[in-house]
Chains A and B, each alone.
Chain A
Amino acid sequence: MAEYEFELNGAATQVTAEPGTPMLWVLRDTLGLTGTKYGCGRALCGACTIHLEGQAVRACALPVEFAQGKRLRTIEGLEDERVGKAVVDAWIAGDVVQCGWCQPGQCMSAAALLAEVPQPDDAAIDAGMAGNLCRCGAYPRIRRAIHRAADALAQEGK
C-alpha cells in the first residue's frame, strides 16, 4: 500500500491504495464516489470518464500513481465549473438519460469537448464522444444536448 495525494473536485485528497489500482476503484470503493461508473474496465465504453488536468480520462485505465499530484474532477464536481454546469443543465433539460449508467461519463466527455471546442459541429461531437457507449441509444439526444449546452454557454458569454 502507498499514500497518494491529488486534488479532487477542488479539495486536497489523500488515499492509501495498492500501486496500480485504477482510479475508478479508488473513487468508487475507497472514496465512495459512485457517480463514476464501471462499464468495461478496458477503456472501451467511457462510463468511467473523469477529468485529469481538465482532460477526459478513463478512470478504469488510470492507475492511481498517475493521479499523484494532479488535479482531478469527477461528475460529483462537474457543476462547479462553468462548462460542466452548462452540460449538466442541458442533459437534464433535454431528458437525455434512459437507464442513465453511462451518462455521467458522457457528461464528463462532453464538458472536456466543449472546453476545447466551444461550438462543436456534429463531426466534432462524433469525434470527441465516440469513446462513450450508450446501450440505450440516447445518442440523438446526447448530440442535441451538446449543441444546447454550447448555445447556452455562448449566450452566457455575450
Chain B
Amino acid sequence: MSGVENLSRRGFLKGSLLAGGGLILGVSWGARRAQAQDAEPEAPAVFQPNAFLRIAPSGEITLLAKHDEMGQGIWTGLAIVVAEGLRVDPATIRVLPAPADPAFANNAFGVQATGGSTSTWSSYEQMRMAGATARVALVTAAATQWGVDAADCEATDGKVRHAASDRVLGYGELAQAAGDVQIAERVELRERAQFERIGKPTPRQDSAVKVRGQALFSLDQRVEGMLTALVARPPTFGGKLARFDAAEAKAIPGVKAVVEVPSGVAVIGDGYWSAFRGRAALELEWTPGEGGDAPLDSDALRAHFEGLSQRPGNVARDDGDVVAALSAAERTLEAVYEVPYQAHAPMEPLSCLVELRADGGAKLTTGTQFLGIDHPAVVGRLGVTPEQVEFQNSYLGGGFGRRANPASDFVLEALEVALAAKDLGAPIKTVWTREDDLQGGWYRPLFVNRIVAGIQDGAISAWHQRIVGQSIARGTAFEGAMIKDGVDGTSVEGAADMPHGIPNLKVELHSPVLRVPVQWWRSVGHSNTAFAKESMLDELAEALGQDPYALRMQLLEEHPRLQRVLRVAAEAAGWDTEPAEGMGRGISVHESFKGFAAHVVEATLEDGVPRIRRVVVAIDCGLVINPDQVEAQLQGAAIFALSATLGQGITLKDGRVEQSNFHDYPLVRIHEAPAVEVHIVESEEPMGGIGEVGVPGVASAVCSALRAAGAPRIRRLPIGTQLQG
C-alpha cells in the first residue's frame, strides 16, 4: 500500500495540494449552493467528506461529477474510482452533475470544463482520494463507537465490520458520526494489483434511464410556465440585422413575443412549434458580414490557403536544415492535403433554459462542457455576484467540443433572449434547430497542408510541412496560453510534435483570419494533422517500395508505446496476410491527448463507393478504469471519423453555409458502419486520454486502404464522389 498525504478536511476542500497526485484543488465560493442543489436541505447527518461525495443516513451515496456526461461514460468511470477507495459497488453510487463551482475545476485546465480527453486521467488521483478519505472517516467513526482499534475494522460493500466482535454498521448509520471525525493526515490507497473495481468491465450508470427516455437532457428540461424561443440569426457570418417585421410572426397562434437580441431576432412561443412557425413567418433583412482575409467561399478559400502554403509561415518546429536536405535529396515528394470545415452535430441540438431571478441573478439549465467559462460569462453579463447565478447541468446529448464554447455562445444568447423578454415574466428555453446547429458556425477549421519530403539513401531525410488554417484560440480567453510565437498549438498538434526519426523537419503555420467561427472538434488539430502526416507516410512508403507498417516501425524506434499499439493492431488485423480479392488495407498510428492509437482499416470500392469492411484499433491509454467504455469510445470514435472521411463536410458558397441538415451533412448510418474491433494494450505507462484518441488515425487509413484496393490517393476530405466515374 502506498500512503498519500491527505490535506483535505470535512466540508469543501480549500486550495489544497495533494502530494500524491500533485493536484491543486480550487477554492470554493459556492459551497452552500452546491449543497442546496440536490434539492435536499443540508442535514447535519449527511456526511460530506469533500466537494464530491455525500453519504446520507439512508446509506445513499451521491457523487457530484466534476466532469459532464456526454456519452463518454465518465460518470460511471468517476464512480468506479471513488468506489475503489470507498469499497462499495459502483452501481450503488448515485451520480449527479456538479454545480458551477471552482471546487470542480478540471485539474488539467484550472477551470471547470470537460474536454481534451482529460477527464479520467486528470481526476483519477483526486477521485481515489475522495473515496478513500471518506472510507477512513467512516471506519474511524465505527471504531470510535465500538471502542476498538480502527486497524481491526474492515470496510466492504458499504459497511464497516469489526470481525473480532462480529459487529457491523452501514455507511449510512455512520454518516453523522463520520462528519465529526478529524480526517487522517494519510490514507492508504490500494496498489493496482489489489484493485477490485478499477479495470473491471462495469455497466454504465446511465444506460437504463437513457434507454427508457427518462434521462433529462437540456432540451428535455421543463419548468412551470416555461416558454420556448427560437432565434433567427444572420445568414452570413458577421451579418447584422437591418430591419425586421414581426407582424405575421405574432399572428401565429402561440407566439407570445418577438424580441431583438444581439444575435438576431428571437421568437418566443408557448412551445417549439409555435416558435418555429413564428420564426418562419418573420420578415427579415440583414446586412452581410464584412472583413476577413478572404471571401467566404470554400473553393476560393482552398485556393487562398493553397497559395499561402507556398509561402513561409510562423515556425512551429525546425530540426536540422530542411532546405539543404531537400536540395540534397535524391528524390522529393510533394503533396497537398485538405480537410473541410466540420460541424459537431451532436444528436441533441443546443438549448439553454433561463430563469431570471428577482435579485438580478439567474438560474440556467443547460448542457454544457464549460461551466467554468459559462458561469463567469453570465455573472459578468448580469453584473451580479457569482453566488447569484446558478447552473443546472444536464446529460449532454453529445458534445464533441461544441458545448465547450469559448464565447459561451448558446448560453449567453439564451440569457439575452430572457433579458429582452423579461416583461413576459416567464422562464424561457432557447432552442436550436438542426439547421441552426449546422449553419451556426463554430466548426473544426478548414485546413490545407503542404508537405514536401525528401528521400536519401532509401530513407526519409527531410519533411517540410506548412499548415494553413484558422486559429481556434485567437480572440478567446485561451489565446495567451495556447498561442506562442504566432503559433496556435491546436493548429499544429500532431505535426509539430511528430516523433518520427526524420533528421530535418520543419513545420510552419499560417493562421488566416476569417469570419467563420471555429472551435475544437473531437480530436481538434489532430483530426487534420494525422490525416496529412499518415497519408504522406504512406505515399513515401509507396515511393520507397516499403511496407507502410515496416516504415512506421522503423521511424518510431524510440517510441515503444506507438510501436506497441501498431504491432498489436497489425497482428490482430493480420497485416502480413493477403487481403481478400478487391480488399485493401490501410494502417496508421498516432499519439494524441496522451493516448496512443493504431488503426488498420479494410475497405473495398464498389462503383466508386467506398465500403469500409472492418476497423481494428489498438489503444494504449495507460491504466484503464472501465474497459467496456474504452471499447465503446474507440468504436464510436472510428465511426465518428468515418463520417468525416466519407461524406461529411461544411462548405461555404457566397458567404453562406451550403449544408442544412442530415441529408446534405451525412453521418454514417448503420448499413455503412463496419465492425470495429478494439484491442486495449495492458499498460503500466502514465494514464492518457481515450475519447478523442480514436479519431485522428482513421481518415488516412481509410484512404490508404482504398489506395491499396486500386483507387487513386485521396488527398482531400471528405472522399465524397471523388472516386466515382
Contact = CB atoms under 8 A, between A and B. Distances in A.
Chain A directly contacts chain B within the complex, with at least one CB pair under 8 Å: yes
B220 A137 contact: no
A75 B212 contact: yes
B346 A130 contact: no
A35 B213 contact: yes
Interface in B346-365: 346-349
B214 A136 contact: no
Given A137-B639, A139-B639, A100 B206 contact: yes
A103 B670 contact: no
A95 B633 CA distance: 12
A99 B211 contact: no
Q: Which of B203, B400, B633, B670 has the most CB of A within 10 A?
A: B670
Number of chain A interface residues as a range: 35 or more
A25 B272 CA distance: 7
A99 B662 contact: no
B150 interface: no
A57 interface: no
Contacts of B669: 130-133
Interface in B199-241: 203-204, 206-208, 210-217, 219-220, 222, 228
B632 A36 contact: no
Nearest to A100: B210
Contacts of A141: 632, 635
A100 B71 contact: yes
Contacts of A42: 434, 661-663
A127 B670 CA distance: 9
A68 to B, nearest CB: 17
Contacts of A130: 669-671
A6 interface: no
B275 to A, nearest CB: 10
B434 A92 contact: no
Contacts of B213: 33-37, 74-76, 104
Nearest to A143: B670
A97 B204 contact: yes
B518 interface: no
Given A45-B662, A133-B667, A140-B673, A37 B207 contact: no
B433 interface: yes
A43 to B, nearest CB: 10
Contacts of A37: 213, 217, 219, 347-348, 397
A138 B635 CA distance: 7
A42 B663 CA distance: 9
Contacts of B274: 18
A102 B434 CA distance: 14
Contact of A1 (B215, B219, B253, B636): B253
Contacts of B210: 97, 100, 103-104
Nearest to B639: A137
A88 interface: yes
A118 interface: no
A41 B636 contact: no
A40 B661 contact: yes
Given A37-B348, A136-B636, A140-B673, A99 B661 contact: no
Interface string A33-69: 1111111111011010000000000000000000000
Nearest to A88: B211
A121 B145 CA distance: 61
A29 B228 contact: yes
Contacts of A140: 635, 673, 675-676
B345 interface: yes
Contact of A135 (B272, B640, B661): B640
A28 interface: yes
Interface in A84-106: 88, 91-92, 95-104
Nearest to A133: B667
B72 interface: yes
Given A18-B253, A101-B397, A44 B661 contact: yes
A72 interface: no
A81 interface: no
A8 to B, nearest CB: 14
B208 A92 contact: yes
Contacts of B642: 137
Contact of B349 (A33, A35, A39, A104): A39
Contact of A18 (B272, B273, B347, B635): B273
Interface in B657-675: 661-663, 667-671, 673, 675
Contact of A142 (B73, B220, B670): B670
B394 to A, nearest CB: 11
Contacts of B57: none
B223 to A, nearest CB: 11
Contacts of A102: 347
Contacts of A132: 669-670
A127 B395 CA distance: 30
A3 interface: no
B517 interface: no
A74 B204 CA distance: 23
B243 to A, nearest CB: 27
A103 B211 contact: yes
A91 B400 CA distance: 23
A80 to B, nearest CB: 12
Given A38-B219, A133-B667, A137-B673, A99 B204 contact: no
A74 B214 CA distance: 12
Given A29-B271, A45-B347, A130-B671, A34 B628 contact: no
A13 interface: no
B70 interface: yes
Given A102-B347, A136-B640, 6 more contacts: A35-B214, A41-B661, A98-B632, A100-B397, A104-B211, A130-B670
Shortest Cβ-Cβ A-B pairs, 10 listed: A35-B213, A137-B639, A100-B210, A99-B71, A101-B397, A98-B71, A29-B271, A126-B671, A137-B636, A34-B220
Interface of B: 70-73, 203-204, 206-208, 210-217, 219-220, 222, 228, 253-254, 270-274, 276, 345-349, 395-400, 433-434, 628-629, 632-633, 635-640, 642, 661-663, 667-671, 673, 675-676
